[in-house]
Amino acid sequence: MEKIRVMFLCTGNSCRSQMAEGWARAIAGDDVEVKSAGIEAHGQNQHAIQIMSEVGIDISQQESIRVNGEMLEWADLLVTLCDNAEEQCPMLNPETVKVHLPLADPAKMKGSDVQVMDEFRETREKVRQRVEFVLEQVAFSAAM
């Protein structure tokens, strides 16, 4: 049986989708293929890398990349993690399932270092919940 291919998409592929890719790899292991991308590529976010390392997940080697048609063709399931990605997403392969699970961008948080890191930690947990939901759906559909 082929592995299901899951793509996480957000605006800049620096925080939310990077976290989702890291969580999916950590939770599902080799059971699914996972990629992340952005409508744009904003580079790696050091706060995202730091808060993911707090839970033992290293996303420092993941690249911030811009989505392209080949990636969209590759995906069986596309998960958009923000309204911008949902609205700006290019045309999909008709067989690709798209799920929209939006989150606020923690990189836009203003405040003290403590407040910013708390926002990133909160987003990390929300991303984990969304990834767990997606992986449960993938497991359910694979069982059918």
Report the C-alpha gap between 22 and 8 in whole angstroms.
10
pLDDT above 80 (res 141): no
Question: Which range marks the domain in which residue 58 is found?
Answer: 4-143
The model's pTM is 0.94
pLDDT above 90 (res 111): yes
Q: Which of 39, 82, 134, 138 is catalytic?
A: 82
Q: 39-81, pLDDT tens digit by residue? A: 999 999 999 999 999 999 999 999 999 999 899 999 999 999 9
**Residue 41: count of CB within 10 angstroms of its CB:** 15
Report the C-alpha gap between 35 and 88 in whole angstroms.
18
Q: How many distinct helices (H) and strands (E) make up the chain?
A: 5, 4
Mean pLDDT of 115-120: 97
Has 15 been annotated as catalytic? no
pLDDT above 70 (res 143): no
Q: Which of 10, 34, 67, 77 is catalytic?
A: 10
Across the chain, mean pLDDT equals 93
Q: Which of 89, 99, 104, 109 is catalytic?
A: 89
What's 117's domain CATH number? 3.40.50.2300
Has 10 been annotated as catalytic? yes
Helix (H/G/I), strand (E/B), else coil: 33: strand
Domain count, the chain: 1
